[in-house]
């Protein structure tokens, strides 16, 4: 299994919150290649069960990506859009997008207007003094308002980064691209399944839906399972108050905006890191959350554990070490054997 080839396949697939069908199908294909069966629940979580009996551990990596949705159609056919998840317009910039209509993708261009003006209503003028907000963004399709409505475009239609912008960039020891959060973790999730499929480990592996909009998929799932432990595979964002090196060494979230990891689990991970020869990077985040921490904050798991891939430019054009997925998989396998 080539992790980078698998990553490219997953990054190419569309998966905005609430419409993860394409990326879920790509993940399911590789689950089946491992000889494993899977189910999809009403929320859209892809579930793989290892072992027998009631599971006490759930391992998640999320399917969805940050995206946009249509908020309105202007008389000239331009589309007002807003964020679906934590997407900022300055992270994305102008460029090709696709509207996910009932009849298939419809191409458009996200833009913020021209700069040859001193009119205070222009985005270019406003950008001199403040950050560009979504109220200044428009998507141009070349179609009229009526034509768009005939194609099924309406408020709530998902708008995603076009396929042409989803190629990975090779940076030697590193790789970059959109949506490494959480597509790279889905690769690690598959690698863990491949190593544990005949191990006797008793766990549910969940590729979760709608994580970027509040961990909805994990919350839906864990209401019925209520495991002792939820292990979320995530990014380890490089931020000033929780810095990491962009190496292959996994990160461990000590806390975030929703929950804190138990001291005994941090001690366990530190020991496992030493045994594996990994220089684990522990991070105390001032904001953000994972499937595990969101679930813990709702009383749906007792022990939230979030493991991350060190990344630059979180929620943008992200950069990580090309071996980070393998190292995260190694740590996760060791953790599941130790729990």
The model's pLDDT over 170-200, given as tens digits with 9 standing for 90+, comes to 999 999 999 999 999 999 999 999 999 988 8
What local confidence, expressed as pLDDT, does residue 145 receive? 97
10 contacts: CB under 8 Å, gap ≥ 6:
23, 26, 27, 183, 186, 187
Which whole number is the average pLDDT over 150-165?
97
φ, ψ (nearest 5 deg) of residue 219: -65, -40
What are the residue ranges of helices labelled H in 76-172? 89-92, 123-126, 145-150
Tokens 């790279």 correspond to what residue? 184
Confidence of residue 319 (pLDDT cuts 50, 70, 90): very high
What is the fold of 3-65+179-338? Aminopeptidase (3.40.630)
- Whole-number percent of the chain with pLDDT over 70: 100
3-class secondary structure, 230 = strand
Does the pLDDT of residue 53 top 80, yes or no? no
How is the chain split into domains, by residue range?
3-65+179-338, 67-163
Q: How far apart are CA 119 and CA 131, in angstroms?
A: 17
Which whole number is the average pLDDT over 112-130?
89
Which whole number is the average pLDDT over 248-266?
98
φ, ψ (nearest 5 deg) of residue 23: -70, -35
Taking only the tens place, the pLDDT of each residue in 323-333 is 999 999 999 99
Q: How many CB atoms lie within 10 A of CB 4?
A: 15
Which region among 115-119, 219-223, 245-249, 257-261 has the lowest average model confidence (pLDDT)?
A: 115-119
Q: How far apart are CA 273 and CA 300, in angstroms?
A: 27
- Whole-number percent of the chain with pLDDT over 90: 92
What local confidence, expressed as pLDDT, does residue 131 receive? 85
What local confidence, expressed as pLDDT, does residue 178 receive? 98
Q: What is the 3-state secondary structure of 242-306?
A: ECCCCCCCCEEEEECCCCECCHHHHHHHHHHHHHHCCCCEEEECCCCCCHHHHHHHCCCCCEEEE
Give the Å distances, CA to CA, from 154 to 47, 270, 328.
31, 50, 40
Per CATH, 3-65+179-338 and 67-163 having the same topology is answered no
Which region among 9-18, 25-34, 45-54, 97-106 has the lowest average model confidence (pLDDT)?
A: 45-54
Which whole number is the average pLDDT over 16-39?
97
What local confidence, expressed as pLDDT, does residue 5 receive? 97
Contact at 8 Å (CB) between 275 and 219?
no
Q: How far apart are CA 83 and CA 178, in angstroms?
A: 16
pTM of the prediction? 0.97
- Name the CATH superfamily, with its identifier, for domain 67-163: Peptidase M42, domain 2 (2.40.30.40)
Confidence of residue 124 (pLDDT cuts 50, 70, 90): confident
Q: How far apart are CA 187 and CA 9, in angstroms?
A: 10
Q: How far apart are CA 238 and CA 246, in angstroms?
A: 8
Contact at 8 Å (CB) between 116 and 105?
no
Q: How many CB atoms lie within 10 A of CB 66?
A: 23
Which whole number is the average pLDDT over 38-49?
98
What local confidence, expressed as pLDDT, does residue 81 receive? 98
What local confidence, expressed as pLDDT, does residue 198 receive? 84
């Amino acid at each position: 299994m080539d992790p980078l080839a698998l990553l490219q396949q997953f990054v190419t697939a569309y998966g905005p919150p609430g419409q993860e069908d394409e990326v879920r199908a790509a993940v399911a294909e590789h689950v089946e290649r491992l000889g494993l069966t899977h189910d999809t629940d009403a929320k859209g979580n892809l579930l793989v069960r290892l072992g027998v009996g009631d599971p006490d551990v759930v391992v998640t990596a999320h399917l969805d990506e940050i995206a946009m949705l249509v908020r309105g159609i202007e008389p000239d056919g331009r589309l007002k859009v807003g964020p679906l998840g934590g997407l900022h317009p300055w992270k994305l910039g102008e460029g090709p997008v696709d509207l996910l209509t009932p009849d298939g993708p419809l191409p458009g261009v996200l833009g913020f207007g021209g700069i040859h003006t001193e009119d205070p209503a222009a985005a270019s003028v406003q950008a001199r003094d403040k950050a560009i907000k979504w109220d200044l963004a428009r998507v141009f399709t070349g179609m009229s308002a009526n034509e768009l409505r005939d194609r099924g475009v309406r408020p709530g239609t998902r708008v995603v980064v076009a396929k042409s912008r989803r190629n990975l960039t090779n940076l030697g020891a590193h790789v970059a691209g959109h949506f490494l959060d959480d597509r790279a973790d889905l690769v690690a999730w598959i690698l863990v399944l491949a190593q544990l499929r005949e191990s006797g480990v008793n766990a549910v592996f969940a590729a979760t839906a709608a994580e970027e909009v509040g961990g909805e998929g994990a919350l839906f799932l864990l209401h019925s399972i209520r495991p002792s432990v939820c292990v979320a595979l995530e990014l380890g964002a490089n931020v000033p108050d929780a810095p990491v090196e962009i190496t292959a060494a996994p990160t461990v979230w000590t806390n975030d905006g929703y929950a804190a990891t138990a001291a005994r689990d941090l001690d366990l991970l530190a020991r496992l890191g030493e045994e594996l020869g990994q220089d684990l990077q522990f991070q105390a985040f001032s904001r953000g959350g994972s499937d595990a921490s969101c679930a813990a904050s709702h009383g749906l798991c007792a022990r939230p554990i979030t493991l991350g891939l060190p990344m630059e430019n979180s929620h943008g054009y992200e950069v990580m070490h090309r071996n980070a997925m393998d190292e995260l998989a190694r740590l996760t396998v060791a953790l599941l054997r130790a729990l």
